[in-house]
Structure 1
Amino acid sequence: MAIRVLLGFSIPEEDLGHLFEVYQQFVENVFSLPVDLPFSGYRRGIQARQILQKGLEKAIREKLQCTQGKDYSDALDLLIESSKEHGKEMTMQELKDGTLELIFAAYATTASASTSLIMQLLKHPAVLEKLREELRAHGILHSGGCPCEGTLRLDTLTGLRYLDCVIKEVMRLFTPISGGYRTVLQTFELDGFQIPKGWSVMYSIRDTHDTAPVFKDVNVFDPDRFSQARSEDKDGRFHYLPFGGGVRTCLGKHLAKLFLKVLAVELASTSRFELATRTFPRITLVPVLHPVDGLSVKFFGLDSNQNKILPETEAMLSATV
């Protein structure tokens, strides 16, 4: 999805499978110690990046030749046009680096947030049931439990207030990215410390969410904190920033939130699901927040004709996300 929606690439399915395997190798080693030795994680990451960029260069060249007549602009189009407007056309290497960064940002973070969403719905059945009640109220789910016919519209998703609260709370507690870097443009002081111009500084998204005074019981998963009645995030624009902030805020944040909402609606309206292991997996934060060995889940389909859960032999699908 990131390749097609954000970059406008059309890569054959047979090539996507190979590129995905290489991409996984790249992601697993992206934060390796920079020691370039044979068989080291750093070397594997470099080799994976070279293979990916070779495939991306082919796709970029095809894209540059077929941009006429499009009725929309994707993220890569905007990146290219912006560089032209500022009088510096991007080199092929810059395009490849930017493209790979967009794919990493879109895929890894969305997969992380999706996994966290599923895990929290598994841990908090009351939240899932409240979400289903909202879907019933908006005609997306029948009272018997089966999904309604029809297309899920953007305006319908926008009107699902509790769903919005659930997604916000997932992103507050389980932000995929730890933080971001900025270059100091002017020397300033913070808590008695002088930060010189030109230094690189890092802001921590997770620490910000954990220490923000506006949030009560910060370690509790509580979507209602974002309800209109409480609106704990209304005081202070810098207390909640799962997508970063400023001019370099995540350009795919609206797409990411839309994806998570559609996923939540599909899960809540079409299936029952349960943890396939005895305990929940251990979580690691690098390169993005994710379960160490994945999250194993069993999905059970719903019978749209009889409003009941299908037998396990007919409908069970085991998956690791």
Structure 2
Amino acid sequence: MLLTIAVVVVSLLVFLDWLSKKRRNDASAEIPGPAILPIFGNYFMFTMFNTKDVMKVMKHHDILYNGFSRTWFFNRLSVLMSRPKDLEIVLSSTRHIKKGMLYDILGLWLGQGLLTSTGSKWHSRRKVITPAFHFKILEQFVDIFDQQSTILVKQLKKHSIEEKPFNVYPYITLAALDVVCETAMGVKVNAQTDPGCEYVRAVSDITEIIMHRLANNFIQNDLLFAIFASKEKRRQDEALKILHRFTERVIERRRVSLEKELAEKQSIDDPADDIGSKKKVPLLDILLQSTINGQPLTNADIREEVDTFMFEGHDTTTSGICYVLYLLSRHPDVQKKLFQEIRGVIGNDKEIPMTFKDLQELKYMECVIKESLRMYPPVPIILREFTEDTNINGYVVPEGTQLTIPIYLMMKNPDIFADPETFNPDRHTLENSTEKVNPYAYIPFSAGPRNCIGQKFAMLEMKSAITKVLRHYELLPLGEAPDPVINLVMRSTNGVNIGIRQRVY
């Protein structure tokens, strides 16, 4: 009896598998890729290994199939693409803007904000948020960058006395969190001096849980997560409750306060027109004063965008800063040249605040950051979903296909970047950057209409933090090398280890 039931179930699964794949198989039959198993496809090729092994499999496929290949996960077709000429078709288009299915997990925290939304909602939100990154608003945030970087160097001081290796990642995480809270919401959470704060712990918890789920296929499904990881599910729900409650309270308080301020002024100014004033304009204020189709954004709409900025603005920037510090500690010649540029722009006073103009003049610093982003991109992969049949270099990619863009592989392609494993900031100087490199070959901030809206913000924040650290400390090549893991954000299983010594001018 049991055998009969098993045969019936297996037969049904095989039939359904064949039925669901048929149309897409017909369309994608010519796309190169590994052999597939009935029902499971190539599932076991990726799920029986850890993250690092998956990276090796992706790299192997990327080389074997010349940057364009397909795999099946049960009845879900996925395409791996790394050729710049192919990526331009997708990334430059306003039609191919839907994020991949894995981003659905982020929706628990971020809802349908700018990172996860698509279609008309994404277009309208992008238009609303763009003024928040006007250069005059960014100029106002430089004070916040400098203040939080000052706290950062004080927190690091104990390690300069010991001159022993330490993991710099937790320190940068808290500094970046302080920055993004103040610039996004206009509130101080004092993460660096009070890491036990309820909100700070909740951000840490939800980020850790999301990254764990994204790296583990089995618990990406909400039902399976609730059944087989119930303790972590409760921890996730508690963190979400704290995060959403905090953001909602800040929004409501600021809405009331802003209405009072505007009433006193007897007029409502466009925040983008008022950006020359000394008052800082956080993202929250711009959202509160914005409309879509004549209607103001609801508190839920605003929370989605604030939470999105919180996620994107602290984890990715943390990764970017940490790997720059690591590479500088291992390349004393580059560190020396960069420090000389900093002294030439700012002088010898360690305590004098940096200005927007100072940061703009650090041209070699830009080259250093760009090269670090090439070697250790904070967002190592991009995931999209095709919403219509698309011709890619003679192959038809069917609607519904998941797209993986392995940025971390592309930017180490020796056919594009000579000697790609070598840290060489000079490859990004003005004279060298004139080389004929496809603009879709170097995309640490993505590219096209869905590129990172906050990339100028991130560059300024990174410049500020790195400059402040180098003005106070010499970076030493201590500790083990990072062990990078690929997720939505580039991390390291063993931290990012450096040593520091008090800087003597």
TM-score normalised by structure 2 residue count: 0.53
Q: Secondary structure at the match of 2:235?
A: helix
Aligned counterpart, 2:483? 282
Q: Which has the higher contact order (CA 8 A, sep 6+)?
A: 2
Offset at residue 27 of structure 1 (A):
0.7
182-191 or 97-106, larger mean C-alpha shift: 182-191
Paired residue for 2:202?
Answer: 22
Name which of 218, 226, 239 aligns with 2:428: 226
Aligned with 2:282 (options 65, 74, 98): 74
Aligned to 2:253: 62
Q: Contact 1:212 / 1:239 at 8 angstroms: preserved in 2?
A: no
Matched, 1:124 2:344: no
Q: Evaluate the alpha carbon distance shift between residue 149 and residue 118 of structure 1 in structure 2; reply closer, same or farther with a 3 A threshold.
A: closer
Tell me the residue number matched to 2:368: 166
Q: Is the contact between residue 214 and residue 233 of structure 1 (CA under 8 Å) also seen in structure 2?
A: no
Partner residue, 1:318 = none
Paired position in structure 2 for 1:310:
none
Number of equivalent positions: 297
Q: Provide the C-alpha distance between the structure 2 equivalents of 1:44 and 1:108, rounded to a whole number of angstroms.
A: 20
Q: Note closer, same or farther for the CA distance 1:11–1:126 as it changes in structure 2 (3 Å cut).
A: closer
Structure 1's unaligned 5+ residue stretches are 142-146, 308-321
- Cα contact 2:181–2:310 (8 A) shared by 1: yes
**Aligned residue in 1 for 2:459:** 257
Larger Rg: 2
Counterpart in the other structure of 1:109: 316
Q: Deviation at 1:198?
A: 5.6
Amino acid at match of 2:235: R
1:49 pairs with 2:240: yes
2: CA distance, partners of 1:161 / 1:168:
11
Q: Please tell me whether the aligned partners of residues 328 and 475 of structure 2 are also in contact (alpha carbons under 8 angstroms).
A: no
Letter in structure 2 aligned against 1:280? A
2:254 partner SS = helix
Give the aligned CA root-mean-square deviation in angstroms: 2.9
| Structure 1 position 3, deviation (Å) | 1.2
Q: Supply the distance in 2 between the matched residues of 1:126 and 1:237 (Cα, whole angstroms).
A: 29
Q: Is the 8 A contact 2:330 2:477 kept in 1?
A: no
Unaligned runs of 5+ in 2: 1-178, 214-218, 263-270, 276-280
The question of whether the paired residues in 1 share the 8 Å contact of 2:381 and 2:487 is answered with no
Query: In 2 relative to 1, CA 26–149 (structure 1 residues): closer, same or farther, beyond 3 Å?
Result: closer
1:193 aligns with 2:395: yes
Contact 1:284/1:290 (CA < 8 Å) preserved in 2? yes
SS at match of 1:210: coil
| Residues 288/62 of structure 1: CA separation in 2 closer, same or farther (3 Å cut) | same
Does the C-alpha gap of structure 1 residues 81 and 188 become closer, same or farther in structure 2, counting only changes over 3 Å? farther
Q: In structure 1, the residue corresponding to 2:305 is in which secondary structure?
A: helix
Relative distance call for 1:194 and 1:282 in structure 2 (3 A) is: same
* Contact 1:208-1:239 at 8 Å conserved across structures: yes
Matched position secondary structure for 2:411: helix
Contact map agreement 1:179 1:244 (CA 8 A) in 2: no
Distance 1:242 1:233 in 2: 18
Q: Deviations over 1:3-61 (max 9, x none)?
A: 11123335577798221111111111114123113544344223311221111111111
Equivalent residues of 2:189, 2:200 under 8 A apart: no
CA deviation map 1:64-109 (0-9, x unaligned): 2223457444334445555x23356544334333322211111111
Percent of residue pairs bearing the same amino acid type:
22
CA contact (8 A) 1:30 1:42 kept: no
Which SS does the other structure have where 2:487 is aligned? coil
State the Cα distance separating 1:252 from its structure 2 match. 1.7
Counterpart Cα distance in 2 of 1:131 and 1:172: 18
Q: Distance in 2 between matches of 1:5 and 1:234?
A: 37
- CA–CA distance in structure 1, aligned partners of residues 287 and 440 of structure 2: 27
Greater helix content: 2
Query: For the Cα contact (< 8 Å) 2:377–2:490, is it kept in 1?
Result: yes
Among candidates 223, 226, 241, match of residue 36 of structure 1: 226
Distance 1:214 1:178 in 2: 17
Which stretch of structure 1 is more off in the superposition, 221-230 or 150-159?
A: 150-159
Q: Aligned equivalents of 2:195 and 2:476: distance in 1?
A: 33
Q: Distance in 2 between matches of 1:280 and 1:266?
A: 23
Q: 2:167 aligns to what?
A: none
In the aligned structure 2, how far is the partner of 1:139 from the partner of 1:63? 36
Q: 1:302 to 1:124 in 2, by over 3 A?
A: closer
CA contact (8 A) 2:283 2:306 kept: no
- Displacement of 1:199 in angstroms is 4.8
One-letter code aligned to 2:503:
L
What is the identity, as a one-letter code, of the residue corresponding to 1:19? Y
Identify if the C-alpha distance between structure 1 residues 9 and 148 changes in structure 2 by more than 3 Å, giving closer, same or farther.
Answer: closer
| SS of equivalent residue, structure 1 residue 194 | strand
Q: Distance in 1 between matches of 2:399 and 2:288?
A: 30
